[in-house]
Amino acid sequence: MNIVILGSGNAATHFGHEFQKIGHQIVQIYSKTKANADALAFALHCPAIDRLAELDLNADLYFIAVTDQAIIPVVEAIPKDVQGIVVHCSGATDISVLAKFQNYGVIYPPQSLSKNKTIDFSTIPFCIEGNTDDNSTALLKLIQVSAPKTILCNSKQRLAIHLASVMVNNFPNILYQMAYELLEENQLSFDLIKPIILETAEKVQNDIPITVQTGPAIRADEVTQQKHLKFISNKPDLQQIYQLLSHQITKRK
C-alpha cells in the first residue's frame, strides 16, 4: 500500500515507522512547517512537502495525523476526488468530517503517543471505522497485522473511549502533580508514593475498579477525611477535588 502521511508529530512518526515496518511504502510526508516534514521524511526515506497543492493524488491511503483543530482545514485542502482511503486518527472527531471523499475512515489508537517513547502496537486495541463495509475491512486488515486487539467501533463509541482515556490518563496525571507538590511542600520525595501508584494500576488490570477501591471514603472514615481537608485548608481547589472524588467513591459503596 502506498501511503501519504499528513502531519509530522507524535502520531505521524509512530504510524509512519510502523507502516513501513510491516511493508507499506510511505510516498510523501506533509507538514505546514517544512523543517518538520523534512525531518520525518528523512527518517522514512521519502519526499516532503509543505503545500497541499503538491499532494500525491495516487496514494492508496491518506493518513491525517494532525491536531483535532487542524483536521478540517487539511480535509478542505485535499481534492475530493482522491481515490485512496482518507483517514484521521482522532478519538474525538466524528467520521463525518471526511464525508466529501468517496472512501474514508478512522484509525484511532487509545494511547498516549510520544516520539521519544517506543510503542508496542500489539498491545493497543485500535478503533477502526469506515464509511463502507469494504473500507472498514481494509482498514481493519491494515492495522491488525501490527495490532491484533483492534476492534470496529462507530464514532459515538470512539468518543466514549476517548473520554474514558482522558479520565484514566490525563486526570490521574494532574493528581500525581498535585500530590508531588504537596509532598515537596513538606520536604518529602514523590518516590515515596510511586509504589502505590503502580499497585493501583496493576489491580485494575484484572478487577473492576470499584471492587479494589480502598481508602477513607470507601470505609466511611469521616474522621480521617476531615483531617485531610483541614490539612489542605489553604488549598480550596484541592479540597473541592478531594470532596468530589470522595463523594463518587462513597455513592458506589
Note the pLDDT tens digit of each residue in 120-148: 999 999 999 999 999 999 999 999 999 99
Task: Give the whole-number percent of the chain exceeding pLDDT 70.
Answer: 100
pLDDT digits over 106-122, tens only? 999 999 888 888 889 99
Q: What is the chain's mean pLDDT, rounded?
A: 96
Does position 253 have pLDDT exceeding 90, yes or no?
A: no
CA atoms within 13 A on the CB side of 144: 12
Confidence bin at 150 (pLDDT 50/70/90): very high
* pTM check: above 0.85: yes
CA atoms within 13 A on the CB side of 124: 23
> What is residue 116's predicted lDDT score, i.e. its pLDDT?
80
Does position 67 have pLDDT exceeding 90, yes or no?
A: yes
**Which segments of 121-246 are extended strands (E)?**
127-130, 151-152
pLDDT digits over 71-85, tens only? 999 999 999 999 899
**What domains can you pick out in the chain, each with its CATH number?**
2-153 (3.40.50.720), 158-250 (1.10.1040.20)
